[in-house]
Amino acid sequence: MLDAICKYDEAEPITLSVFKFQKLSDDDIEKYRQALVCPACAGKAYYRKASKDGKAACFGSRYHQSDCVEFKPSAAKAREELHAIEVNQLVVDSDAMIIDFSRAAKVSKAKAQQKVLKETSSNSDTEVKTKPEKRALEEEAALPFKASSEPESTSGVDKSEPEKRVATQGLEKVLHSLLRGSDLASSDLWVYTDEKYRWRAKNLFVNFADAEPTENGAPRMYWGTISHTDKQRLWLNPAETKDVGIPIDMFSSSLASRFDLQSRRDFEGAGIILFGKCFWNKNKSRKIIQLWSNDVNRLFISKADENE
């Protein structure tokens, strides 16, 4: 995108070209970059500065409408659309989904499913609140799933109770599907964040724009896009809202190596999803979303396509 609308002043939004925007002072760029939207479809937009290797400054958006004139199909976009279709189908076909936080370890999927099979808690939809001193997770319950595609013996099985279908999915496809407007975040699908705790998807997945501190620090899966990071790379600033910050100082180096984030530009416009807790800072002027246990396995970043 060569142009973007800046809605810093909601009463008088202005259209800025990327050439004009990059000539603004650093302070003005930091002030306006989280107020950008696509001029065609009004999807939330981001600004990426020019890179040292010759890539030009640009505007972009991970929220273009499919019929937006600024939406330029690419291999990356097509892949994200396929992920959205796959997850939508999963929502329709499955009774529950296990989130596999170990992106590379394929073997762990079967083990995770076997653990879920051992759960024998009630099928009730009633939420069970855990004690604050324990892990502040909600909706503790489990279903007796048939997690394997292998046939099982039917002797002694009550055939009046239908088999439960469980799927396993990694954070990459979950994130891409949310960015591309899948039905996951509004569905009643049970989602397991480990072998014991499950959540309704509509209560688990929260866009940064809707983030609010939770009772007893109960975690959620927060998602959206990154506007920018500070010069020291201690914080991530979501594009969807100005009053949320994500501290990364405890794991910034491992984050950079894991997702190939070599410069501040690599963060700009990137999609992100993380399992964490939301709370107020001391002055209650900014909401903090902290990665659960500072475990980078519970976070995924998808860098923006250069042609976004």
164: closest CA among 185, 199, 189?
189
Q: Read off the pTM.
A: 0.71
Q: What does the pLDDT average to over 256-263?
A: 92
Query: Nearest 5°: phi and psi at 6?
Result: -100, 120
Q: Which residue has the higher pLDDT, 135 or 258?
A: 258
What's the pLDDT score for residue 235?
Answer: 96
Contact 125, 105 (CB under 8 A): no
What's the pLDDT score for residue 163?
Answer: 65
Distances (CA, A) of 15 to 178, 224, 226: 28, 24, 21
Contact 192, 121 (CB under 8 A): no
The predicted-structure confidence for 37-92, as pLDDT tens digits, reads as follows: 999 999 999 999 888 777 888 898 888 887 888 877 677 777 888 898 899 898 98
Local structure of 53: helix, strand or coil:
coil
